[in-house]
Amino acid sequence: MGKNWKALKSIFEIEISRGTNFLLGLDFDGTLAPLRRRHDFSALPPRMRNLLGRLSLKRSLTIVIVSGRRLEDLKRRVRIPRIYYIGNHGMEILGPQGLWIHSRAPVWKHTLKSLVFPFHEVLKHFSGAYLENKGIAFSFHYRGLSRELSPYLLRRRLADVLRPHRKLFRILSGKKVWEIRSREPWNKGKALLKLAGQIHGSRKIILVGDDISDEEGFRSLGNRGVTVRVGPMERTSARFEFKSIKEVETFLMFLDRLCH
């Protein structure tokens, strides 16, 4: 197992014996589901779905799938009842209490809608790259970009289109993707903190993720949560590390045995 596995295991054994409840935040792509050439090919493995379904029945655990994907897309791919879903890097939250969307979402959606055409014009010159329209955010995937084309040139062209709205939006990097998101200081970690405050009874927060957007969440949680990085990264704000999705599964199986 990855960095500090014994220490992480010990934390849960001690806290569960004390009756602590956990809010378990899990990223989707690269954490629960393998990364694919196209984001729309991603699927939750059946074994992982069955395991999450069992964990959703544990009284000491509240399961939250936290993703950069659009909320409806995320829910359709996971299809597990009794759990929470956080989409668009924390801007959308769905659970038994209903739906919450960031108050500025209509402004972002209106502005980005006007940029769909010029962005598609840019993509005509970058074969293999494509736009994922998430309503209040855009993702430009370039995993399939032709070898002779530069992803950094693509970023420059996207920035040219976005320049009149640079006070409202920013471009962030991810795994073979450029993200256009609002400059609002909000992320997965802050969304989990908000959710923890809405659920009856105190819960210790966990966030497990593999990408740069998860790093934002790790920093926001700080010492208020247990943070776990999936996969190698030169620098991480997470306290713990798993080497692969397989180790995430091993961790969830451990929780399944521990939480009666």
Main-chain dihedrals φ then ψ at residue 139, nearest 5 degrees: -125, 130
Domain boundary among 121, 148, 182: 182
Half-sphere exposure of 27 (CA within 13 A, CB side): 30
**pLDDT, tens digit, 9 for 90 and up, residues 168-196:** 999 999 999 999 999 999 999 999 999 99
- Predicted TM-score (pTM) of this structure: 0.94
CB atoms within 10 A of CB 258: 16
Q: How many domains does the chain have?
A: 2
Range of the domain at 151: 105-182
Query: Of 182, 216, 246, which residue sits at a domain end?
Result: 182
**Averaged over 141-169, what is the pLDDT?**
96
For residue 232, what pLDDT band results from cuts at 50, 70 and 90?
A: confident
DSSP state of 216: H
Cα gap 70→85, rounded to integer Å: 10
CB-based contact 223:241 (threshold 8 Å): no
Who contacts 255 (Cβ-Cβ below 8 Å, separation ≥6)? 12, 24, 55, 58, 61
The side-by-side arrangement of strands in the sheet containing 177-182 is: 130-133, 138-141, 177-182, 169-174
| Residue reference for tokens 């451990």 | 254
Lowest mean pLDDT among 4-8, 106-110, 199-203: 199-203
For residues 204 and 246, what is the distance between their CA atoms, to the nearest angstrom?
Answer: 24
CATH code, 52? 3.40.50.1000
26 — pLDDT class (breaks 50, 70, 90) = very high
Domain boundary residue, one of 182, 207, 226? 182
CATH of the domain at 133: 3.30.70.1020
At 2, the pLDDT band (50, 70, 90 cuts) reads low
Average pLDDT (96-116) is 95
Same domain membership, residue 151 and residue 64: no
Same domain, 192 and 98: yes
pLDDT, mean over the chain? 94
